[in-house]
Amino acid sequence: MADLSIDFCGIKSPNPFWLASAPPANSGPQVMRAFDAGWGGAVWKTLGDPVTNVTSRFWANDYGNTRMMGLNNIELITDRPLEVNLKEMYEVKKRFPKHALIASLMVETRENWKEIIKRAEDTGCDGLELNFGCPHGMCERGMGSAVGQEPKVLEEITRWAMEYARTPVIIKLTPNTGDINEPGEAAARGGAPAVSLINTVKSLLGVDLDRFVPNPRVGNQSTNGGYCGPAVKPIALFMMSQLAKNPATKHMAISGIGGISNWRDAAEFISLGATSVQVCTAVMHYGYRIVEDMIEGLSDYLDSKGMKSVNELRGKAIGAYAEWGDLDLNYNLKARINPDSCIGCNLCHVACMDGAHQCILIPGRTHAEHEKAGHTHIPASIPEVPVKAAGAVGRFLPVIDDVECVGCNLCHLVCPVPGTISMVEVPGTIGKSETWNDRVAQGRDLNPGSLDSTVAKRAGAKP
């Protein structure tokens, strides 16, 4: 069994799975139950001057029969008195000395920061996370993402914290910014040894169409909130890997957050540079128990890859995350349908017809019918191979026209039967590897059919 323990800029944790600062880490009894269930660490619900929350607070985006693809909240930081939180943190740390306990903090003035850092560290916690991410309620008061969006302020507060703190400081970043590198670099300049990201994405989840009030509804009003859960994972992965690549930020430890629900998600974050991962929505949806699968799944995965420690996985995929201009234009794929598992639903056909390159034909149609369907190139032979699956009487396997297929993956993605459409590598059309950047370097980056003005400009530039 692979070693899952990590050292996060000095913070030791039995595994990389931490509760994010949010309702699952709201109180001592909760965090103790989570640690009993197997979580390696927890970032306590953000401390500060207690707030008053509203009712209701959450709304979610369902997708088909899957509930809570994304979760939106308008909750603020902790609404419990500071002493109560601190006392419970002390008790948790006493009972779980080997687990990672991190205090999440959000206050206003320098004096506030000085006081809260001291009082938090007095609980024995292992580190501090500065919440520069909350995109609603707190930012209007000059905190949270108001700081995260202002690199100068972020850098200054980071410096204060580095001055007062005895334990490692993690800067929690907001995704609500044009370029994540700016706050990331500010955190690095301020001397922080670590960042965590992402906090929630500014959002308005939906509208109650009978009352004409957005959701979640507070009486006859609502407000914008923060979006999280599986829907935000791609945004989080992108932003996190930006910092993992950036020479000015890549020395910092990263705690990856955003839509992590299982060991696979976690492994993806780790392979793009995370040392620990934090989870909120998946626990709010299914409970602390999900960590069992996360630990087991990650460990078995590492074993299957012959990795002795989770540290070997860290950053494995960063190298392959290239700029678009460095991608090989000669690389070529074609879609292939497995006759043994196709059920004949023709979704690949309609997706390719209306959303890709009109190259999946339904056999049994006449030439005129193919034309009417929208095919512009009709292969000479369209074999009528019956769908094999028992019960699929009278249906034919869709036929891929290789001449038109651009290998975009769309059919592979829409096919409801996983594994039925595969993308196979075929010889490229150029004959050798070549990137757009190569063409730019050689001045061959003008394709036929370009704008007259572009052509003219080129002609002028290169006489």
Cβ proximity of 200 and 226 under 8 Å: yes
Q: Tell me if 343 contacts ligand SF4 by CB under 6 A.
A: yes
Q: Which of 452, 71, 9 is nearest to 259 (CA)?
A: 71
| Cα–Cα distance, 95 to 235 (Å, whole number) | 36
Number of alpha carbons in the 13 Å side-chain half-sphere of residue 383:
7
Q: Which of 207, 198, 143 is nearest to 176 (CA)?
A: 198
Q: Tell me if 230 contacts other proteins by CB under 8 A.
A: no
| Contacting residue, 248, 417, 424, 459, with ligand SF4 by CB under 6 A | 417
134 as an active site residue: the answer is yes
| Cα–Cα distance, 14 to 378 (Å, whole number) | 60
- The site partner of 389 among ligand SF4, other proteins, ligand FMN, none (C-beta below 5 to 8 Å per kind) is other proteins
Neighbour count for residue 10 (Cβ, 10 Å):
12
| Cα–Cα distance, 222 to 202 (Å, whole number) | 14
Residue type, 305: K
| Contacting residue, 133, 137, 190, 256, with ligand FMN by CB under 6 A | 133
Q: Tell me if 23 contacts ligand FMN by CB under 6 A.
A: yes
Q: Tell me if 392 contacts other proteins by CB under 8 A.
A: yes
Q: Tell me if 199 contacts ligand FMN by CB under 6 A.
A: yes
- The site partner of 279 among ligand SF4, ligand FMN, other proteins, none (C-beta below 5 to 8 Å per kind) is ligand FMN
| Cα–Cα distance, 321 to 383 (Å, whole number) | 40
Q: Tell me if 406 contacts ligand SF4 by CB under 6 A.
A: yes
Q: Tell me if 311 contacts ligand FMN by CB under 6 A.
A: no
Q: Tell me if 73 contacts ligand FMN by CB under 6 A.
A: yes
Q: Which of 313, 276, 303, 301 is nearest to 15 (CA)?
A: 276
Contact flags string 91-130 toward ligand FMN, x per CB under 6 A: -------------x--------------------------
Q: Which residues contact 96 (CB under 8 A, 6 or more apart)?
A: 32, 35
Which spans in 335-451 are helix H?
Answer: 347-355, 367-373, 410-414, 436-442
| Cα–Cα distance, 403 to 149 (Å, whole number) | 49
- Would you state the structure tokens that stand for residue 171, as one six-digit string? 């800067």
Indicate the SS3 state at residue 366.
coil
Stretch that binds other proteins, among 165-173, 251-259, 275-283, 391-399 (CB under 8 A): 391-399
Backbone angles phi, psi at 278, to 5 degrees: -120, 145
Q: Tell me if 260 contacts ligand FMN by CB under 6 A.
A: yes
Number of H helices, E strands in the chain: 15, 20
Angle between helices 110-121 and 82-95 (to 10 degrees): 30
| Cα–Cα distance, 274 to 313 (Å, whole number) | 10
| Contacting residue, 416, 427, 449, 463, with other proteins by CB under 8 A | 416
Residue count of the chain: 463
| Contacting residue, 228, 272, 294, 421, with ligand FMN by CB under 6 A | 228
Q: Tell me if 352 contacts ligand SF4 by CB under 6 A.
A: yes
Q: Tell me if 451 contacts other proteins by CB under 8 A.
A: no
- Considering beta carbons, is residue 22 or 187 the nearer one to ligand FMN? 22
Number of alpha carbons in the 13 Å side-chain half-sphere of residue 306:
0
Least distance from other proteins to the Cβ atom of residue 417, Å: 7
Instruction: Name residues contacting other proteins, limited to 322-361 (CB under 8 A).
Output: 343-347, 349-350
Q: Tell me if 75 contacts ligand FMN by CB under 6 A.
A: yes
Q: Tell me if 461 contacts other proteins by CB under 8 A.
A: no
- The site partner of 393 among ligand FMN, ligand SF4, other proteins, none (C-beta below 5 to 8 Å per kind) is other proteins
Q: Tell me if 21 contacts ligand FMN by CB under 6 A.
A: yes
| Contacting residue, 218, 307, 329, 347, with ligand SF4 by CB under 6 A | 347
Least distance from ligand SF4 to the Cβ atom of residue 336, Å: 9
| Cα–Cα distance, 51 to 315 (Å, whole number) | 39
**Catalytic hit among 134, 139, 228, 405:** 134
Q: Tell me if 20 contacts ligand FMN by CB under 6 A.
A: yes
| Contacting residue, 317, 408, 426, 446, with ligand SF4 by CB under 6 A | 408
| Cα–Cα distance, 70 to 259 (Å, whole number) | 8
| Contacting residue, 85, 145, 200, 242, with ligand FMN by CB under 6 A | 200
Cβ proximity of 259 and 231 under 8 Å: yes
Least distance from ligand SF4 to the Cβ atom of residue 387, Å: 7
What's the helix, strand, coil split of the chain in %, to 5? 35, 20, 45
Instruction: Name residues contacting ligand FMN, limited to 322-351 (CB under 6 A).
Output: none
Active-site annotation, residues? 134
Contacts with other proteins by CB under 8 A lie at 64-65, 343-347, 349-350, 362, 387, 389-395, 416-417
**Where on the chain is the footprint of ligand FMN (CB under 6 A)?**
20-23, 45-46, 71, 73, 75, 77, 104, 131, 133-134, 172, 199-200, 228-229, 232, 257-260, 279-282
Residues that bind ligand SF4 (CB under 6 A): 335, 337, 342-348, 352, 356-357, 359-360, 398, 400, 405-411, 415, 417, 420-421
